[in-house]
């Protein structure tokens, strides 16, 4: 039987000492008089829940028109073989238009407007890049 090899004993590393944090003199922040409350910026649109029926009908019609116009732009590329980024943009815009129509159908005008705006922007990008 062969003797077992000796395992080396690790050298001792001196422990690091950390000095205690210095105590800083506590200073009180200067007293200030509160100014007027900042006001939130006014938005051009009211939330859908706060609009009257006439405004909701106009917004619904405007969103519907935007969806129709964006679909018309994308329809120009339905038969073209796009690839790469233009194809991705076209497909993303079409998907957003479907989601915008669903939101409009369920009465979520805020989401329908946001999605239709984004889809219209993408449709115009596809149109401009195809020229």
Residue 10 inside a domain? The answer is no
86: containing domain: 52-130
Residue 118 inside a domain? The answer is yes
Residue 80 inside a domain? The answer is yes
Q: d(Cα 83, Cα 97) in Å, to the nearest integer?
A: 20
Residue 45 inside a domain? The answer is no
Domains contained in the chain, number: 1
C-alpha distance from residue 116 to each of 64, 66, 106, 113, 129 (Å): 9, 6, 15, 5, 20
Residue 120 inside a domain? The answer is yes
Residue 18 inside a domain? The answer is no
Residue 113 inside a domain? The answer is yes
pTM of the model: 0.58
Lowest average pLDDT, out of 29-33, 42-46, 95-99, goes to 42-46
Confidence of residue 11 (pLDDT cuts 50, 70, 90): low
Please give the backbone phi and psi of residue 115, each rounded to the nearest 5 degrees, phi first.
-65, -40
């Amino acid at each position: 039987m062969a003797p077992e090899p000796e395992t080396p004993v690790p050298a001792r590393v001196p422990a690091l000492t950390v000095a205690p944090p210095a105590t800083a003199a506590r200073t009180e922040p200067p007293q200030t008089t509160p100014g007027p409350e900042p006001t939130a910026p006014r938005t051009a649109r009211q939330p859908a829940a706060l609009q009257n029926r006439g405004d909701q009908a106009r917004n619904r019609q405007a969103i519907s028109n935007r969806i129709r116009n964006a679909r018309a732009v994308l329809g120009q590329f339905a038969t073209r073989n796009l690839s790469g980024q233009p194809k991705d943009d076209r497909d993303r815009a079409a998907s957003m238009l479907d989601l915008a129509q669903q939101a409009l159908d369920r009465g979520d005008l805020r989401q329908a407007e946001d999605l239709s705006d984004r889809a219209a922007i993408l449709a115009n990008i596809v149109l401009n890049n195809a020229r």
